[in-house]
Structure formats: structure tokens, C-alpha cells
Amino acid sequence: MRHWRNDIVLEACEFTARWGFLTQELFFEFMCPMSRAHKFRYWKFLTTSGKFYQSKASEKVLLLTAKGRHSVGGIARPARRSIYVAHDAIAARVLLALQKRDLVFKYWLEDELMRNPLEGYSILGNEQMLKIPDAVFDLRTAGIGTIRCSLEIERTTKSKSRYAKNALAYLGYSKISVMLFAVGTESTKDVVGQAFRGKMFSEKNKIPGIFNLNYFDPAELNTILRFNTQEMTFKHLLSALTKLEIRSLNDSRDDKETVVSLKKLENREAAQ
């Protein structure tokens, strides 16, 4: 019998505590690198462990119970409202693709910066937070420093004036070295890009890397990023920034199929 991976369950709990939700897609893709049958067995275990409950909006979204919050020290973000889960899951997918390669030293979510403005000012590098990114993260490098990046998710196209205001806000964020925008359509890509055009943005090196979220490729990072008129892959950008080898996530997958008894696992969990 395959050895039971308690670390998979712990990671699921810790992620849900930080983000306020866990989707089946994220769990299968990043937290349970096994065969499809094993993925479903672990997911079934999560739903019956007492640490999670299914969202009313979707059985493929799990939220933490009181027992689940207690298992991670009692500190957890409130359950995320269902209308925000699809948006946040995109940001999580990008961050997890980097975390699984050990490229992220530290990260902050939008609500965390909102709850602690003083820390937010310091992290972004400005005395005002006119636009808080969906996520901010520090990339590890081959040297001793880190590179601070921001991530924005734009599933739909907003007004040009709104993007113009957001661009001006980023102009003042001195601690943000790389800006990434994941967009839902090519038209959104164009509108976002136009907002950051001009001499003042190029002089301060505030040109965002924009990519289509529908084609994001976590396994190989061959997704195309566009910086104004220049294009490169996600993998190429990360390699240039970090000076580290950017490995494939497919290398860490374990496809061996063996039987796991859920009944024994549930009894073990009940005894703890």
C-alpha cells in the first residue's frame, strides 16, 4: 500500500486558511501530484475529514471548518465569497506554479495589505495605496536579494479611465520591480497596455508584462508575456530575473497507482 501523505492534507489546510477557499482544480494540479484515481481519493478524504465543508455554490470548492482552522493554529481568512473564487483561483494558480519551483520567498494577498496599511505602504513603496495588487510576491534569486513583483487579474475589460488611474498608482510604487497582468481577452490586453504607454512609464521602467490567463501553462511556463512591443515566455522572464534553472513541474509527478483504504484513513483521522 502507498504510504499516506499527511503533508498533502496539511498543505490543503494551510492554503485554504490563507486564501479562504480551495478548488478541486488547484488541489489536483498542485497539491496532489499523483494519478487521477489518487487525486479523487485524497479529495474524498478532505471532504470527509471534518476539516472542510463544501461550498453551497459548488461541490468542487472547499472551505475550512472550525476543526480545519484549529489544525492550522486557529488563524484563518474568512471563507471567501463564491463570486470571488474564480478570480482568486487564477492568482493562486500563477503563484502556486512559482511556489512549486521554490521561486517565491514571500507573498502578500490584496486583503492582507488592506488590513495592514502601514505594512502595505512599506511593501509597495509609497505613502498611498491607490490601487492594491491582487498579489505581491518576492522572487528568490541566485544571489542574496529578491525581486518584488505584483500580479493583477483582469478577467473582464474595465474602462480606459480606470486603467489609467491604476497605471498612475503603479508609477508611484517604488518597491515593485515587475508588474504582471493576467487578462481574459486580447482586447483587455490592448487596453491595459495602452494605459502604461508614455515617456514617464518607460523612464521609470513601469511597463507591465501582460499575458492571456486562458493560456497560462503552469507545467512548462511557455506562456507568452508581452512587455509593450516585446514578447518572451514566462520561463524566459523568470530565468532572466532569478538566474536560476526553471524546471518543469511534470518532473515531480508521481503516477504510481496503488490502493489506499479511505476507511482506515477516516478511522485514523477520527482517533486523532
- How far is CA 136 from each of CA 81, 164, 174, 205, 237, rounded to the nearest angstrom? 21, 20, 13, 18, 17
How is domain 6-81 classified at the CATH fold level?
Answer: Arc Repressor Mutant, subunit A (1.10.10)
pTM of the model: 0.91
Report the distance separating Cα 154 and Cα 167, nearest Å.
14
Listed by start position, the domains of the chain span: 6-81, 102-246
User: Which range among 67-76, 162-171, 195-204 shows the weakest confidence by mean pLDDT?
Assistant: 67-76
Segment 106-149, tens digit of pLDDT = 999 999 999 999 999 999 999 989 999 999 999 999 998 999 99
pLDDT score at 9? 95
Report the distance separating Cα 185 and Cα 155, nearest Å.
8
pLDDT category of residue 75 using cuts at 50, 70 and 90: confident
Report the distance separating Cα 45 and Cα 11, nearest Å.
14
Q: Please name the residues in contact with 26: beta carbons below 8 A apart, sequence gap of 6 or more.
A: 15, 89, 92, 93, 96
Report the interhelical angle of 6-19 vs 82-99 (nearest 10°).
130
> 3-class DSSP state for residue 53?
strand
One-letter amino acid identity for 31? M
Segment 193-242, tens digit of pLDDT = 999 999 999 999 999 999 999 999 999 999 999 999 999 999 999 999 99
Segment 250-271, tens digit of pLDDT = 866 555 544 444 444 455 545 4
pLDDT > 90? residue 63:
yes
Report the interhelical angle of 6-19 vs 36-48 (nearest 10°).
60
pLDDT score at 251? 67
Report the distance separating Cα 236 and Cα 21, nearest Å.
31
> 3-class DSSP state for residue 165?
helix
